[in-house]
Amino acid sequence: LKKIGVLTSGGDSPGMNAAIRAVVRTGLYHGLEVFGIMRGYQGMYEDDIFSMDSRSVANIIQRGGTILKTARCKEFFEPEGRKRAFENLKKRGIEGLVIIGGDGSFRGAQKFSNEYDIPCIGVPGTIDRDMAGTEVTIGFDTAVNTAVQAIDKIRDTMDAHDRVFIVEVMGRDAGYIALHSGIATGAENILIPETKTDIEAIIHGLTEKEKRQKLVNLIVVAEGEEFGGADEVAKVVRQRLPKADVRVTVLGHIQRGGSPTCEDRLVASHMGYYAVESLLLGRKNVMVGVINNKIHYTPLDKAVKEKHKIGQEWMKIVKILAS
């Protein structure tokens, strides 16, 4: 193995730059030539590929986003598109790929490497933390801390005005950001896609609190929750409790940006390093994960098929602590 490529794909996440840096510098350390592929599979298809040196990843470990940029490439879904992408790699002699991204990116990698026998190593970069085979993903820690800081600020107003606040955090299919930020900010209710939303129980709880003159209430909602997000939940609460002063805040993409936390920089450096080491050892089509603080490899197809399960125990704890 002499030449490898690295790309970021899917939604960006804070810490992706730290992972790129680790891949490039580990590759150079082993005497490899490392190519950066711009805008994920789009750059592979459009031949937007350049040779990287140690300087090209200087001063990026602390930056959010991704210097390689990211995109969703529709041409890569087609066999013709993948063929053209492969030819662009072949003409440079690129023999292995490190793909930093989420489940969609790994599905593409799996398909590509089956067709062209090019080893692909996945590095989980997503704020959602929704991959099997790893307890951490690059960007989650930063995103969840951003959410906690924002909700703490909202709590001041909530308390000053005796309001019900419904805060929507990211997570179309996964409730980890909602669960962690909700617990850390003392939310009374946390609504996530993985569990059924018991709206009657929420209304009941709010009614009881109204009786006790405790009108402050924080509900943290994942965007993919059953009702369809914070606005929808607010509609029901306003209808059923006309006296409640309800406000909605949608945190949105602020959760995806910003300087990565120390934890995300460490995880990204660790995984980036092992991604290159595993290519050199001849591994193919696996995702580098971390379980119990140890590097763990999971076949790409398994990492995208099986979802992390959110323990019901947590939901019980949420209820007890908020009562």
Residues taking part in catalysis: 128
Stretch that binds ligand F6P, among 79-87, 106-114, 170-178, 263-271 (CB under 6 A): 170-178
Q: Taking the CB of residue 224, how many other CB atoms lie within 10 A of it?
A: 19
Question: Does 178 sit near ligand F6P (CB under 6 A)?
Answer: no
Stretch that binds ligand F6P, among 45-53, 155-163, 168-176, 238-246 (CB under 6 A): 168-176
**What are residue 295's DSSP bridge partners?**
290
Amino acid found at 15: G
- 155 is an annotated ligand-binding site residue: yes
- 237 is an annotated ligand-binding site residue: no
Question: Does 180 sit near ligand F6P (CB under 6 A)?
Answer: no
> Whose Cβ is closer to ligand F6P: residue 61's or residue 127's?
127
- 253 is an annotated ligand-binding site residue: yes
> What span, in angstroms and rounded, lies between the C-alpha atoms of 109 and 285?
8
Question: Does 108 sit near ligand F6P (CB under 6 A)?
Answer: no
Q: Is 173:193 a contact under the CB 8 Å cutoff?
A: yes
- 283 is an annotated ligand-binding site residue: no
Strand order through the sheet with 120-124: 49-52, 33-37, 3-8, 96-101, 120-124, 286-291, 294-299
Q: Which helix (H) or strand (E) holds 124?
A: strand 120-124
Q: Would you state the structure tokens that stand for residue 218, as one six-digit string?
A: 């924080």
Stretch that binds ligand F6P, among 113-121, 122-130, 158-166, 271-279 (CB under 6 A): 122-130
Question: Does 126 sit near ligand F6P (CB under 6 A)?
Answer: yes
In the complex, the smallest distance separating the C-beta of residue 140 from ligand F6P, rounded to whole angstroms, is 10
136: left (phi over 0), alpha (psi -120 to 50) or beta: beta
- 178 is an annotated ligand-binding site residue: no
- Burial (CB count <10 Å: 0-12, 13-18, 19+), residue 254: middle
**What are residue 291's DSSP bridge partners?**
294
Cα angle 268-274-279, degrees, rounded to a multiple of 5: 130
Alpha helices in 31-139 (DSSP H): 41-46, 79-90, 103-116
> What span, in angstroms and rounded, lies between the C-alpha atoms of 23 and 276?
6
> Whose Cβ is closer to ligand F6P: residue 102's or residue 108's?
102
Query: For ligand F6P, which residue of 91, 161, 172, 316 counts as binding (CB under 6 A)?
Result: 172
Amino acid found at 159: D
Question: Does 102 sit near ligand F6P (CB under 6 A)?
Answer: yes
> What span, in angstroms and rounded, lies between the C-alpha atoms of 39 and 75?
13
Question: Does 125 sit near ligand F6P (CB under 6 A)?
Answer: no
Q: Is 89:104 a contact under the CB 8 Å cutoff?
A: no
In the complex, the smallest distance separating the C-beta of residue 238 from ligand F6P, rounded to whole angstroms, is 25
Query: For ligand F6P, which residue of 36, 171, 175, 229 counts as binding (CB under 6 A)?
Result: 171
Question: Does 127 sit near ligand F6P (CB under 6 A)?
Answer: yes
- 129 is an annotated ligand-binding site residue: no
Question: Does 81 sit near ligand F6P (CB under 6 A)?
Answer: no
Q: Would you state the structure tokens that stand for residue 129, as one six-digit string?
A: 């933390």
- 47 is an annotated ligand-binding site residue: no
Binding residues for Mg(2+): 103
Q: Site residues (CB under 6 A) for ligand F6P?
A: 11, 102, 126-128, 170-172, 223, 256
Binding residues, as ranges, are 11, 21-25, 72-73, 102-105, 126-128, 155, 163, 170-172, 186-188, 212, 214-216, 223, 247, 253-256
Binding-site residues for substrate, in ranges, read 126-128, 163, 170-172, 223, 247, 253-256
Q: Summarize the annotated binding site for ADP as residue ranges.
A: 21-25, 155, 186-188, 212, 214-216
